[in-house]
């Protein structure tokens, strides 16, 4: 809850300080996060962090690191996904 409030409030303040085009892009990103159903969002997050062909491991150069195997990394993924799906309610 705290991280969702922090991200939502930070983006709301940012929306008041940027020009029209970046504001529109941020609002559309928030709308996209809000409109993504939980199952679809979870599937996308699992594909992003897949140890074999996920783009996150490739970009970070981690090889075949399994994000869902470790207790703390799996908790981090769940936290990020919950914040991603719920921060638009705070904006």
For the stretch 11-47, pLDDT in tens is 889 999 999 999 999 888 888 777 777 778 788 888 8
Residues 30-69 as b or e (16 or more Cβ within 10 Å = b): beebeebeeeebeeebeebbbeeebebbeeeeeeeeebee
- 89 DSSP assignment: G
Mean pLDDT of 74-79: 88
How is residue 36 written in tokens? 């993504």
* Model pLDDT, residue 91: 67
> What pLDDT does 62 receive?
85
| Mean pLDDT calculated for residue range 45-63 | 88
| Structural domain boundaries enclosing 70 | 2-89
Percent of the chain's residues with pLDDT above 90: 18
Q: Is the pLDDT of residue 89 over 80?
A: no
User: Residues 87, 2: contact at Cβ < 8 Å?
Assistant: no
Q: How many domains does the chain contain in total?
A: 1
pLDDT on residue 30: 80
CA separation for the pair 46, 32 (Å, rounded): 18
H or E element at residue 38: helix 38-48
The reported pLDDT for the residue numbered 23 is 92
């Amino acid at each position: 809850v705290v991280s969702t409030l922090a991200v939502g409030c930070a983006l709301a303040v940012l929306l008041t300080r940027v020009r029209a085009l970046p504001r529109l892009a941020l609002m559309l990103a928030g709308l996209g996060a809000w409109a993504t159903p939980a199952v679809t969002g979870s599937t996308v997050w699992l594909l992003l962090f897949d140890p074999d062909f996920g783009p996150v491991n490739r970009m970070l150069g981690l090889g075949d690191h399994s994000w869902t195997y470790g207790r703390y990394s799996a908790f981090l993924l769940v936290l990020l996904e919950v914040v991603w799906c719920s921060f638009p309610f705070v904006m």
